[in-house]
Structure formats: structure tokens, C-alpha cells
Amino acid sequence: MKIEPGYVHIARGSAVPSMRSLLWYALFYIAAAVIGSRYSSAFGTVLAVVTTAVIAVKILAAKSRVYVFYPDKVLVKSGILTVREDTVFLSKVLAVRYRQTFAGRLFGYGDVLIDQLGDNDFFCRRISRPRKLVEAMTPYVTRPSAPIF
């Protein structure tokens, strides 16, 4: 991946799934164990292998997402087999905020909200090192020259 000079920060998507996803995966594993012990161990094994494959694909998809922050735009690159690149222009950034849950502090990921003038807010879910991103973007936040009200 070639990145132009002048970027502010690079953040990757975190491979840690949400707690809701982890609970669903745990339920699938429990179902595989119950079905495998009760009916057919082959069916339970297949269910466990499919669940593991789904988790692996989700982790690869999350790790393949890269955010490249520039003073005026954000490049979002994602995809495993098919690469997708989106550009979000940050014309009037009013605030940059982040939120980290307890699990996010443990594993080093969080959510970042770039609040823009109007309805163009940009939300990055589960990215690594969110505090560093906020610190890097803070000098580029628009400061109004006159009071708004």
C-alpha cells in the first residue's frame, strides 16, 4: 500500500469483535458441542469448523480495514479479495471524540467520531489506538472566528 506524504495518522481496524458477536460465537460453539454429543459428532464438528471459519473471515476483514487520515480527508481502504477505497472529505471538522469501553482499553481499540458541520459526521468503529488519532487530529479542528450564537 503506497501512502502519499503528508498524512496525519494511520489507524487499522481492530481484530477484536464486538461483545455481542463474541456471545453469538460462544452460543454457536455450545450448540455444536451439545449437538455433537447428543446426535452426531460429525455434525457438531462441521458446525464448530463453520463457526471458526466465520470468525477468521471477520477478523481478516477487520484487519484489512485501514484508515489514513490527512488534514483535509480520510481514505478508507478495506477488503480481502476485492479492495475498496473510499474518500471522506473533512471540510469543516468541529470536534474529534473517542470512546473506549473496558474491553477496548484492555485490547487497545475504540470508536472515533469526527463531528463535521451539518449532518456529515464520520464514525470509525473499533479502530486501534483511538486516543492517538484524536491527538493527531486536534490541531486540524476548525475553530470558529466569531461566536456562533
Query: What does each of the 149 residues of the chain score in pLDDT, given as a tens digit?
Result: 455 566 776 777 766 666 677 777 777 777 777 776 676 667 767 777 777 787 778 777 777 788 888 877 888 888 877 888 888 887 777 888 899 988 888 888 888 888 877 777 778 888 888 888 888 888 777 665 545 44
Q: Which residue is associated with the grid cell 485501514?
A: 66
Residue 149's pLDDT is what? 44
3-state secondary structure of 34: helix
In whole angstroms, what is the distance from residue 6 CA to residue 125 CA? 24
Rounded to 5 degrees, what are φ and ψ at 96?
-130, 120
Q: 92, 111, 112, 95: which is closest to 103 by C-alpha?
A: 111
Q: Are strands 93-99 and 84-89 parallel, antiparallel or unpaired?
A: unpaired
